[in-house]
Structure 1
Amino acid sequence: MIKLNALITDTDINEQEGFKLLFMGATEGIRNPKAHDLIEMKDPYKTLEYLAFASLLLKKIDF
């Protein structure tokens, strides 16, 4: 497990659980379908949204 904070307060624990679910969702909902099918991204705004989401997740684990 990657600890994102001290996991002391309820807020810390909730943040940890929330980001765990976001990472799981990114893997299952975004990465997995694209790994098994050829999908062409035609909407540049959707592409930017995916990049922003990926940036948020990666910044969270960048120590």
Structure 2
Amino acid sequence: MPDEASHLKFRKSSYSSPRHQDCVEVADTPGTSAVRDTQNRHLGHIEFPSTEWAAFLRDIKADRL
């Protein structure tokens, strides 16, 4: 999926480990959020509707998951 992801601008999560372990990267586009594993970029990414990603982050921050 590298060609499909070339238009995405991924950023590493601020909660990722400083040693680059357990890292998650996110790219936001209009209406969706793409997520991938930093150590396995070659495996591609998954996309979620932005509203679902925002709800997931709210629940994580509220310690509901």
TM-score (ref. length: structure 2): 0.31
User: Which structure is higher in helix share?
Assistant: 1
If each structure's strand is expressed as a fraction of its own residues, which one has the higher value? 2
> Of the two structures, which has the highest relative contact order with CA contacts closer than 8 Å and spacing of 6 or more?
1
Q: TM-score, normalised to structure 1's length? A: 0.32
